[in-house]
Amino acid sequence: MKTQVTRRQFLGSAAAAATFPAIIPGSALGLNGAVAPSNRIAVGFIGVGGKGTNGMKNFLGCKDAQVAAVCDVNTDAREQARNLAGLPPEMAFNDFRDLLARDDIDAVQVATPDHWHVLPSIAAAQAGKHVYCEKPLSNTIAEGRALVNAINKHGVVFQHGTQLRSLEKVRFACELVRNGRLGTLKEIVIGSPPGLATGVHPEEPVPPGLDYDLWLGPAPHAPYTPWRVGRECGYPGWYFISDYSKSGWVAGYAVHDIDIAHWGMNTERTGPIEVEGEGVFPTEGLFDTVMTYRLEYKYANDVRLVITSTDQNPHGVRFVGEKGWIFTRSDIDAEPKSLLTEVIGPEEIHLYKSTLHEQNFLDCIRSGAETLTPAETAHRSTTVGLLGGIALKLKRKLRWNPETERFLDDPEADALLSCAIRSPWQL
C-alpha cells in the first residue's frame, strides 16, 4: 500500500524522493538555487502594521519561505500586506483564528500590539504551527510562562524578535565578555529611551475597516481614539498605555538590550534576585506608563544591571569589568581599544551564529534545532522589564526568586504577575 506523505511531513523529513516529468522547469524542482514551492515553509502573518510588514519583507527575501496568508484587524493594513505579497483575497483574514484553522500554514509571525502576543502564539502552538513572535514576549510574567509551557508541550519551533543577536558585532561583544576579556564582570548598563505623556483625548467614532473590539481583545474595554490605536504621537500610542504594554518601554524597548545583557553574562535561563528603581509617571492624560526611570537589578553572580532612560547613557549595552568596558548595540566600542582586535580562539567559547533572524527560524523548522532566541530565553529577558515595571509601581525594593518566579514574602507584588483578561478570551 502506498502511503501519502503530507506537505508538512515532507518539510519535517530529512529526505524525500519523487519523480517528475522532464518538462517541469528547474526552478520548480528546486534547481539552480531555487526551492521548490512544495518544499517552502508557508508562513502566515498575524499583525501586518509597520513592524509586521517589515518582518514579512524579510521573509519574502528568504528563498525557502512562502508568504501564504496575512491577518490584521485593520482592513487597510491587511490589504496593503496582501497586495505586497501578491496573495488572493481569500488569504487575507480579520481574525487570527481563521488563519490558524488552515492546514496549509506551517508557521506564523505574530507582530501585534504587546497585549496580543501571547494568545495567538499559544493558539498557533496548539495548532502545531511554529511561532516567530515579536518582542516583548508577553504583557505579564504569568502570560509569558504560559506561552513557554505551550511551546514546550506542543513541540513547535519558537523564535523571539530580539534581532540584535543576529548582528555579528553584538555576538563578538558577548563572546569577549564570555571569554573573560574584561576580567570579572561587575556591571551592565543599558541606556533606553524615555516614555511619553499626552493629554486627555475624547472618544471618537471607530473608523470603517477597523475591528476595534478585536483590537482590544483581552484588554479592558476602552473608548476609541486614534491616540490609543494609531501613531498620533509619532509611535503607536499603545506603547505608553499599561493595558497594552504593562511596563512601557522598560519591557517594550529595553528587552532588546536586556537580551544581550543576558547573553553576555550567561544568564539566559534565569534572572535577577533583586530589583529597585525610581521613575516619573504622567499625572494625567491617556498615557500612563513610566516616562523617565532608573532601575537596578542584582543577579546571583553579583553582577549589577542598570537600566536608565537618561541621556547620560547612549542606547545600548555597556559591559563593565575589572579590565575595561565594551559597548554594543548595532556597533561595538571598547576601552581599551585593543579589545576590538581580539581574536576568539578555536578552543574558546563561540556563541550561536546567525546572520538573519528569520532565516534562523526557518532553518530550525527544518532541522528541529533550537533557535537563537527560544521561548525560555525570551521569557527571561521580558521578565526583567516586567519586574522593573512592578518595582516602579510599588516604589520599593523587591526580592525575586527566578526559579519559582515569585517574589519573596510579598503577596502585593505577586498580585501584579498577572492581570484580568476580558471575556470571552482565556489564557
Q: What is the DSSP string of 53-99?
A: HHHHHHHHT-TTEEEEEEE-SBHHHHHHHHHHHT--GGGEESSHHHH
Q: How far apart are CA 271 and CA 265, in angstroms?
A: 11
Residue by residue, pLDDT tens for the chain (427 residues) are 333 334 454 454 433 333 333 343 434 444 455 677 678 999 999 999 999 999 999 999 999 999 999 999 999 999 999 999 999 999 999 999 999 999 999 999 999 999 999 999 999 999 999 999 999 999 999 999 999 999 999 999 999 999 999 999 999 999 999 999 999 999 999 999 999 999 999 999 999 999 999 999 999 999 999 999 999 999 999 999 999 999 999 999 999 999 999 999 999 999 999 999 999 999 999 999 999 999 999 999 999 999 999 777 789 999 999 999 999 999 999 999 999 999 999 999 999 999 999 999 999 999 999 999 999 999 999 999 999 999 999 999 999 999 999 999 999 999 999 999 999 999 9
pTM above 0.75, yes or no: yes
7-164 topology per CATH: Rossmann fold (3.40.50)
Amino acid at 349: I
Q: Could you tell me the three cell numbers for 244? A: 497594552
Domain parsing of the chain, residue ranges: 7-164, 168-350+375-417
Classify the phi-psi angles of 347: left when phi > 0, otherwise alpha if psi is within -120 to 50, otherwise beta: alpha
Predicted pLDDT at 314: 87
Q: What separation in angstroms does the CA of 132 have from each of 6, 46, 163, 170, 358?
A: 23, 10, 11, 21, 8
Separation CA 182–CA 23 (nearest Å):
61
Identify the CATH assignment for 168-350+375-417 out of 3.40.50.12280, 3.40.50.720, 3.40.50.300, 3.30.360.10.
3.30.360.10
The rounded radius of gyration (Å) of the Cα atoms in the chain is 22
Angle between helices 357-367 and 50-60 (to 10 degrees): 60
43 and 105 Cβ atoms separated by less than 8 Å: yes
For residue 270, give the amino acid letter.
T
In this structure, which amino acid lies at residue 92?
A: A
